[in-house]
């Protein structure tokens, strides 16, 4: 599937057969034969088509002077794991590299799913010490078509439709919420991926979960966390904004601003009440840091305090080069942690580890090709972070 886009980009839409969908605002769509393009208009389109040749002709019909371009970002590197997971490194027009992952799954009933794990930023400004993406630095937010084309690339590699999309790749989606929402609209309305098949992940940047809730999406909110004690919970904002070092059990996980756990939980409850969609806690298990039964008991107490509508997904740490953290032993700690939650009536699952032999941890593959951490764009992102916290 090719891509025809006009700069400056505002709307992401899809071209199928001979019709064109063009959106003027989130949630409103009109279908026309050939939408006029004004040179002075800032609201423009991305059109997705079945072949590049068709879109090249369409660009000619529109008029080359209108600024339309045809094509997709090329795949710079592809790595396939023994379990069928595929990680792609996509090279953008400014030569930046982003990752996307295709995860094929066959469940016990024999049905097949194909999940695309997509990035929302080039790198990540949050710099969590257990994440490979943060070690590679941050450059800029992705545009909506750069998010959508990750899903198209996965579909073409597997030669089948993507059934699920998770915004769990490189970057913090809530710090690029406008483009993420536009990409979400395109994936749902134009590529026909159900909203309930889409998950948006966040570390819980202040004031952004309520903004997301206001759009009343039917998608799952996933809160990435690593502990549950209200004295230790932090939102992992970079030291360029906050210089406070937070320590937990002697381990410096990140440089961050303290954000009360009650505030995060209140935002999550608001999301559940506004959308009717449960919130998933993506709990990263770090050996010797947060993987004991005592930690599980604390987490269960927290969840019960805030009522129903929550699910815990345990994620054993993916080892990354140069990290001081270790993956917990599954039979000794992971299963015990899961059992402790289940015994306390908490819905829990353990994420199946996929693609460990394909640099599966987020940011690992990019860091193999980009040896020097990114610095560009830091000033812009600092301003966005300050605005998010202040609003």
Angle between helices 293-305 and 335-343 (to 10 degrees): 40
Examine the domain organization and report whether 354 and 307 are in the same domain: yes
Tokens of 18: 């001979």
Total domains in the fold of the chain: 2
Q: Which residues pair with 245 in a beta bridge?
A: 255
Boundary-marking domain end, from 14, 45, 71: 71
Examine the domain organization and report whether 28 and 79 are in the same domain: no
Residue 63, helix vs strand vs coil: coil
Examine the domain organization and report whether 331 and 314 are in the same domain: yes
Kindly give the pairing relationship between strand 112-117 and strand 121-123: unpaired
pTM, to two decimals = 0.78
Examine the domain organization and report whether 194 and 135 are in the same domain: yes
Nearest 5°: CA angle at 313, between 357 and 223?
105
Kindly give the pairing relationship between strand 86-91 and strand 97-106: antiparallel
Q: In 3D, which of 371, 356, 370 has the Cα closest to residue 101?
A: 356
How many whole angstroms separate alpha carbon 63 and alpha carbon 319? 51
Tokens of 327: 């993956």
75 — phi, psi (to 5°)?
-80, 120
| Catalytic choice (99, 146, 179, 182) | 99
Q: Say how far residue 166 (Cα) sits from the centre of its chain.
A: 6
| Catalytic choice (124, 186, 225, 362) | 362
**pLDDT value at position 138?**
86
- Scanning the chain, the segments in alpha helix (DSSP H) are 52-62, 132-135, 144-158, 177-185, 208-213, 261-275, 293-305, 335-343, 364-369, 378-390
Examine the domain organization and report whether 8 and 147 are in the same domain: no
Examine the domain organization and report whether 81 and 228 are in the same domain: yes
**pLDDT value at position 379?**
43
What is the pLDDT tens value at each position of the chain, 391 positions in all? Answer: 666 555 432 223 333 222 233 333 333 332 223 334 444 434 445 566 556 677 777 777 766 555 666 678 999 999 998 889 999 999 998 989 999 999 998 877 777 899 999 999 998 888 776 677 777 788 899 999 999 999 999 999 999 999 999 999 999 999 999 999 999 999 999 899 999 999 999 988 888 999 999 999 999 999 987 655 443 444 443 333 322 222 333 333 443 445 677 888 999 999 999 999 999 999 989 898 889 999 999 999 989 999 888 999 998 888 777 778 888 887 789 999 999 999 999 999 998 776 666 555 555 666 666 655 555 444 444 444 444 444 4
How many whole angstroms separate alpha carbon 71 and alpha carbon 197? 27
Examine the domain organization and report whether 51 and 78 are in the same domain: no
Kindly give the pairing relationship between strand 220-225 and strand 234-235: unpaired
Alpha carbon separation from 33 to 13, 30, 52, 62, 79 (Å, rounded): 14, 10, 18, 11, 40
Q: Is 99 a catalytic residue?
A: yes
Percent of the chain that is helix, strand, coil (3-state, to 5): 30, 30, 40
Examine the domain organization and report whether 303 and 253 are in the same domain: yes
Residue 29 domain boundaries: 1-71
Examine the domain organization and report whether 232 and 187 are in the same domain: yes
Residues 6+ apart with CB under 8 A from 3: 46, 47, 48, 49, 55, 70, 71, 72, 145, 148, 149, 152
**pLDDT value at position 38?**
40
**pLDDT value at position 147?**
96
Boundary-marking domain end, from 54, 71, 88: 71
Size of the chain, expressed as the number of residues it contains: 391
**pLDDT value at position 378?**
44
Examine the domain organization and report whether 272 and 349 are in the same domain: yes
Tokens of 2: 């090719």
Residues 6+ apart with CB under 8 A from 200: 167, 173, 174, 180, 184, 212, 217, 219, 220, 221, 222
In this structure, what CATH number is given to the domain that contains residue 165?
A: 3.20.20.70
Examine the domain organization and report whether 42 and 124 are in the same domain: no
**pLDDT value at position 332?**
85
Examine the domain organization and report whether 229 and 354 are in the same domain: yes
Q: Is 128 a catalytic residue?
A: no
Nearest 5°: CA angle at 94, between 93 and 96?
100
**pLDDT value at position 63?**
63
């Amino acid at each position: 599937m090719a891509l025809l886009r006009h700069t400056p980009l505002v709307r992401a839409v899809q071209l199928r057969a001979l019709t064109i969908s063009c959106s003027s605002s989130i949630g409103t769509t009109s279908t026309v034969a050939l939408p006029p393009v004004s040179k002075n208009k800032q609201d423009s389109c991305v059109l997705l088509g079945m072949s590049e040749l068709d879109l090249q002709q369409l660009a000619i019909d529109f008029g080359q002077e209108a600024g339309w371009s045809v094509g997709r970002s090329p795949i710079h590197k592809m790595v396939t794991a023994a379990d069928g997971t595929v990680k792609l490194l996509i090279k953008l027009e400014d030569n930046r590299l982003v990752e996307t992952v295709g995860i094929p799954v066959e469940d016990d009933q024999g049905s097949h799913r194909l999940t695309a794990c997509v990035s929302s930023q080039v790198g990540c400004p949050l710099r969590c010490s257990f994440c490979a993406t943060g070690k590679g630095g941050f450059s800029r937010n992705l545009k909506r078509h750069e998010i959508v084309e990750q899903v198209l690339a996965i579909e073409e590699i597997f030669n089948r439709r993507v059934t699920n999309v998770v915004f769990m790749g490189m970057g913090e989606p809530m710090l690029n919420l406008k483009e993420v929402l536009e990409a979400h609209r395109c994936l749902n309305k134009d590529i026909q991926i159900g909203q309930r098949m889409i998950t948006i992940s966040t570390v819980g940047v202040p004031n952004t979960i309520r903004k997301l809730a206001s759009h009343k999406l039917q998608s799952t909110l996933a809160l990435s966390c690593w502990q549950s004690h209200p004295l230790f919970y932090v939102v992992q904002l970079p030291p360029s904004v906050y210089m406070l070092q937070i320590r937990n059990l002697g381990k410096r996980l990140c440089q961050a601003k303290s954000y009360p756990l009650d505030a995060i939980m209140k935002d999550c409850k608001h999301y559940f009440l506004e959308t009717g969609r449960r919130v998933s806690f993506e709990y990263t298990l770090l050996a010797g840091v947060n993987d004991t039964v005592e930690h599980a008991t604390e987490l269960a107490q927290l969840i019960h305090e805030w009522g129903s509508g929550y699910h815990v997904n345990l994620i054993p740490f993916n080892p990354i080069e140069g990290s001081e953290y270790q993956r917990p032993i599954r039979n000794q700690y992971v299963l015990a942690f899961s059992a402790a939650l289940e015994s306390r009536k908490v819905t829990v699952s353990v994420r199946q580890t996929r693609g460990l032999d394909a640099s599966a941890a987020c940011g690992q593959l990019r860091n193999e090709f980009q040896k020097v951490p990114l610095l560009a764009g830091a000033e812009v992102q600092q301003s966005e972070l300050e605005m998010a916290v202040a609003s």
